[in-house]
Amino acid sequence: MKWGSVFILPPWLEVWWRAFQPKTELYLTSVHDRSGIIGIAPLHLRGGEARFVGSPDVCDYQDFVIVPGKETEFYDALLDDLARRGVSQLDLNPLRPDSSVIKSLVGVVEKRGGDVICQEGDVTVEMDLPGDWEEYLAGLDKKQRHEVRRKLRRLWEAGDVRYRCREVSQEDVVSLTDTFLRLFSLSREEKAGFMTSQMEVFFRSLAQTMAEVKLLRYGVLEVAAQPAAMLMGFDYEGAMYLYNSAYDPQYDSLSAGLLSKVLCIRESIALGRRKWDFLKGAEKYKYQLGGSEIRLYDCRMTLR
| pLDDT, tens only, 265-278 | 999 999 999 999 99
Length of the chain: 304
For residue 189, what pLDDT band results from cuts at 50, 70 and 90? low
In the predicted model, what is the mean pLDDT of residues 90-99?
Answer: 97
> Alpha helix locations (H) across the chain?
10-20, 71-84, 100, 106-111, 133-139, 142-157, 173-186, 189-194, 197-212, 256-270, 284-288
For residue 247, what pLDDT band results from cuts at 50, 70 and 90? very high
In the predicted model, what is the mean pLDDT of residues 248-263?
Answer: 96
Residue 64 has pLDDT above 80, yes or no: yes
For residue 195, what pLDDT band results from cuts at 50, 70 and 90? confident
pTM over 0.75: yes
Q: With pLDDT > 90 as the criterion, what percentage of the chain qualifies?
A: 90
Per CATH, the architecture of 6-122+297-302 is what?
A: 3-Layer(aba) Sandwich (3.40)
The answer to whether the 6-122+297-302 and 130-273 domains have the same CATH topology is yes
Residue 3 has pLDDT above 90, yes or no: no
In the predicted model, what is the mean pLDDT of residues 230-240?
Answer: 96
Confidence (pLDDT) at 170:
86
| Cβ(278)–Cβ(243) below 8 Å | no
Confidence (pLDDT) at 30:
96
CATH superfamily of 130-273: Gcn5-related N-acetyltransferase (GNAT) (3.40.630.30)
- The Cα 265–Cα 37 span in angstroms is 37
Residue 7 φ/ψ, nearest 5 degrees: -75, -10
Q: With pLDDT > 70 as the criterion, what percentage of the chain qualifies?
A: 98
DSSP string, 133-201: HHHHHHHS-HHHHHHHHHHHHHHHHTSSEEEEEEEPPTTTHHHHHHHHHHHHHHS-HHHHHH--HHHHH
Residue 190 has pLDDT above 80, yes or no: no
- The Cα 58–Cα 186 span in angstroms is 20
Locate the domains of the chain by residue range.
6-122+297-302, 130-273
Residue 232 has pLDDT above 80, yes or no: yes
| Cβ(57)–Cβ(206) below 8 Å | no
In the predicted model, what is the mean pLDDT of residues 73-87?
Answer: 97
Confidence (pLDDT) at 270:
96
Residue 2 has pLDDT above 90, yes or no: no
For residue 159, what pLDDT band results from cuts at 50, 70 and 90? confident
Q: What's the mean per-residue pLDDT of the chain?
A: 95
> pLDDT, tens digit, for every residue of 20-52?
999 999 999 999 999 999 999 999 999 999 999
- The Cα 213–Cα 221 span in angstroms is 24
- The Cα 276–Cα 261 span in angstroms is 10
